Amino acid sequence: SQQGEEDPQALSIQEGENATMNCSYKTSINNLQWYRQNSGRGLVHLILIRSNEREKHSGRLRVTLDTSKKSSSLLITASRAADTASYFCATDALGAQKLVFGQGTRLTINP
Amino acid sequence: NAGVTQTPKFQVLKTGQSMTLQCAQDMNHEYMSWYRQDPGMGLRLIHYSVGAGITDQGEVPNGYNVSRSTTEDFPLRLLSAAPSQTSVYFCASRRFSGGNTIYFGEGSWLTVV
């Protein structure tokens, strides 16, 4: 089964609002990454947070990591129509040599 | 750098046919992998490689073969295509040491009829 599970599966908000997506995982990790996929395209890396970090920022993105709950959240502030995409978390498990993705959150920003 | 290049972008196969999806990267990355993505789904790992001559199975390896004769290339072979293999296939690469960004190709859309 997938290591990461995103929640919600789909999210629709108005432009300017904040969007929050969550990711839960099952095993201990080295790091957790978030990726974005525009329709019909490959995935693009957004941000990486290591297991010893609790929060990280990049522009309008804020990622938190709670290793005790095995969960992460991605917050996009002041959303724009161009943020419409699917967002995936991916975990780099301890002792593993592969990056495992969740099923993604489909985010729609309404103008 | 061209990054990760996949070919072909689109392919239609008949059930039972075989084909190879090509993947090449010019970033000297040790780690390469193949994922498949089905509608509304995340990416599922098919096979991966941590260096030339080394490959291993992911979550859904059945029906696929890989080889890694060079650092740059990681072809994915469908041995006898089945309709269940209709999917979008993504090749990806990264530096082997953990915590590095993975770079994706643009995808190969495969339909098996």
When CB atoms are compared, the residue of A33, A45, A88 closest to B42 is: A88
Measured between alpha carbons, how far apart are the two ends of chain B, in Å?
36
Q: Is A65 on the interface with B (CB under 8 A)?
A: no
Structure tokens, B96: 């082997």
Structure confidence at residue A36 (pLDDT):
96
Structure confidence at residue A2 (pLDDT):
44
Looking at the predicted structure, is the pLDDT value of residue A13 above 50? yes
Average pLDDT for B4-22? 97
Average pLDDT for B57-63? 94
Reduced to 3 states, what is the DSSP secondary structure of residue B55? strand
d(CA A80, CA B84): 37
Residue A3: pLDDT band (50, 70, 90) is low
* Chain B contact set for A7 (CB, 8 A): none
pLDDT tens digits for A50-61?
999 999 999 999
Calculate how close chain B gets to A102, using CA atoms only, in Å.
5
Rounded mean pLDDT of chain B? Answer: 93
d(CA A60, CA A82): 13
B98/A92 touch (CB, cutoff 8 Å), yes or no = yes
Measured between alpha carbons, how far apart are the two ends of chain A, in Å?
36
A101/B35 touch (CB, cutoff 8 Å), yes or no = yes
Structure confidence at residue B99 (pLDDT):
62
Q: Is B106 on the interface with A (CB under 8 A)?
A: yes
Q: Is A99 on the interface with B (CB under 8 A)?
A: yes
Structure tokens, B83: 């309709």
pLDDT tens digits for A70-79?
999 999 999 9
